[in-house]
Amino acid sequence: MPHKGSYEVTSKTTLKRYAKRAEYDRAVVHAILDEAFVCHIGFVADGQPYVIPTGYARDGEVLYLHGSVGSRMLRALESGGDICVTVTLLDGLVLARSQFNTDMNYRCVVVLGKARSVRDPEEKAAALLKLTEHIIPGRTQHARAANDRELSQTAVLAIDLNEVSAKVSDKNTNDDDEDYALPIWAGRVPLKLVPGTPVPDPRLDPAYADDIPEYILPYRRPTEKA
Amino acid sequence: MPHKGSYEVTSKTTLKRYAKRAEYDRAVVHAILDEAFVCHIGFVADGQPYVIPTGYARDGEVLYLHGSVGSRMLRALESGGDICVTVTLLDGLVLARSQFNTDMNYRCVVVLGKARSVRDPEEKAAALLKLTEHIIPGRTQHARAANDRELSQTAVLAIDLNEVSAKVSDKNTNDDDEDYALPIWAGRVPLKLVPGTPVPDPRLDPAYADDIPEYILPYRRPTEKA
């Protein structure tokens, strides 16, 4: 499985509008998937589409979806129906001189395909490690690994990264020519998901409650390490 | 239409899992919808579910969905199919002593129903005002309002807030009894979408480029004003 290059463009992943913002490059897609925390899973149950947020992690060209999955979703996903997994990072607000051109900057990945249930204990354990490391790199060296009972209680789903597209909007204001003369402040307001000070669990031994491990404070996302 | 009280619970909005986290209170739902910037719209086209992020704004018990809508989505939404609009706020990471209990805190609203196209010019203009004010309160007093040409170019969709549920997860670590003795730091890492310093548009008159209006700096979300 090649990790470089681009995803194949299909009729379903061809952007009909703002096509110039479409990205199929694996590196662009991977970076977005690795930075965000939450995906939105779209599936159909009894004809009704649902969109449910959940945790996930990427392992190469596989996306693992975490297991706090309602039974309605599990049933729908295991029945082999098509699903859509969307990951969005909001990067900022674009304040144009006209309300019409007011916009947002964002990066977004859309994955189409079918989910499979991860039942093999080894793959499931590896996926759970990835899911924990995705939330906070380094954590699996400290937190207790899942035991057999926990593994059997956890639902992990996988979707292959085959039919994938990204959309990246990173722009300044784009006003109509005649609007540039208007005496209105215009520009971008960057937005960023920022971690606050970690809050020790009330039942933590007071002896080391404030001794927050280095890998947690300062908290960093993988893509910010470089 | 009552603005107080709770949404009616239906078979589709009954949470099958973590039912204790379910919320149907209008005030809870409104606060989440008013704080977030982006919704994820789930719809079905040719049997394939899609999940697309877009801007939105609430006006009473109506959600207006913004118009950078691909033709695939517009066609699907206008065809009268069922849709799902989900809004998620990620509030933090929950670092438990076990990987199994590692989790995230979040607030999320799921709206089910059908979308209608807003074609009435007055309602459309009012919806565009709401969409701009949702991004940055106060902006419509400064930015140029949409003209007729822009109004006709914009697609605005509306969905009534009838079949609605929220899910709120705001917890400390919830470890197994025997795990509390483990010498592992546990607690919460709060996460917050924080605005950075506004970046003036390069074509802004240098005379007032750095004169950022008070309503933009410091930038505040409506729910943080109290």
Residue type, B100: F
The secondary element (H helix, E strand) that includes residue A93 is: strand A82-95
Number of domains in chain A: 1
Kindly tell me if the per-residue pLDDT of B99 is higher than 50.
yes
Residue B104 lies inside a defined structural domain of this protein: yes
Q: List CB contacts of A129: < 8 A, sequence separation 6 or more.
A: A140, A145, B99
What is residue B121's predicted lDDT score, i.e. its pLDDT?
87
Residue B217 lies inside a defined structural domain of this protein: no
Q: How far is A36 from chain B (nearest CA, A)?
A: 10
SS3 letters across chain B: CCCCCECCCCCCCCCCCCHHHEECEHHHHHHHHHHCCEEEEEEEECCEEEEEEEEEEEECCEEEECCCCCHHHHHHHHCCCEEEEEEEEEEEEEECCECCCCEEEEEEEEEEEECEECCCHHHHHHHHHHHHHHHCCCHHHCCECCCHHHHHHCCCEEEECCEEEEEEECCCCCCCHHHHHCCCCCEEEEEEEEECCCEECCCCCCCCCCCCCCCCCCCCCHHHCC
Kindly tell me if the per-residue pLDDT of B23 is higher than 60.
yes
Of B12, B143, B211, the CB nearest to A98: B143
The pairing of beta strand A38-45 with beta strand A82-95: antiparallel
Nearest to B45 by CA among B3, B74, B65, B14: B74
Residue A72 lies inside a defined structural domain of this protein: yes
Task: Name residue A169's beta-bridge partners.
Answer: A106
What is residue A50's predicted lDDT score, i.e. its pLDDT?
95
CATH number at residue B5: 2.30.110.10
Residue A12 lies inside a defined structural domain of this protein: no
Q: What is the mean pLDDT of chain B?
A: 87
Residue A117 lies inside a defined structural domain of this protein: yes
Q: How confident is the model at residue A222 (pLDDT cuts 50, 70, 90)?
A: very low
pLDDT of A120-154, one tens digit each? 989 999 999 999 999 988 898 989 998 998 888 88
CB contact under 8 A, A85 and B51: yes
| pLDDT (mean) for B24-28 | 94
The secondary element (H helix, E strand) that includes residue A198 is: none
What is residue A2's predicted lDDT score, i.e. its pLDDT?
47
pLDDT of A1-59, one tens digit each? 445 789 999 888 887 666 667 889 999 999 999 999 999 999 999 899 999 999 999 99
CB contact under 8 A, B193 and A194: yes
The pairing of beta strand A116-117 with beta strand A62-65: unpaired
Enclosing domain of residue B10: 1-174
- What tokens appear for A198 in the block? 């970690």
pLDDT of A63-101, one tens digit each? 999 865 556 777 788 788 999 999 999 999 999 999 989
Residue B25 lies inside a defined structural domain of this protein: yes
Residue A8 lies inside a defined structural domain of this protein: no
Residue type, A145: A
Mutate to test the interface with A, among B89, B144, B210 (most CBs of A within 10 A): B144
Q: Is A168 helix (H, G, I), strand (E, B) or coil?
A: strand
CB contact under 8 A, B143 and A82: no
Residue A152 lies inside a defined structural domain of this protein: yes
Burial label for A207, CB within 10 Å (0-12, 13-18, 19+), is exposed
Of B143, B187, B198, the CB nearest to A96: B143
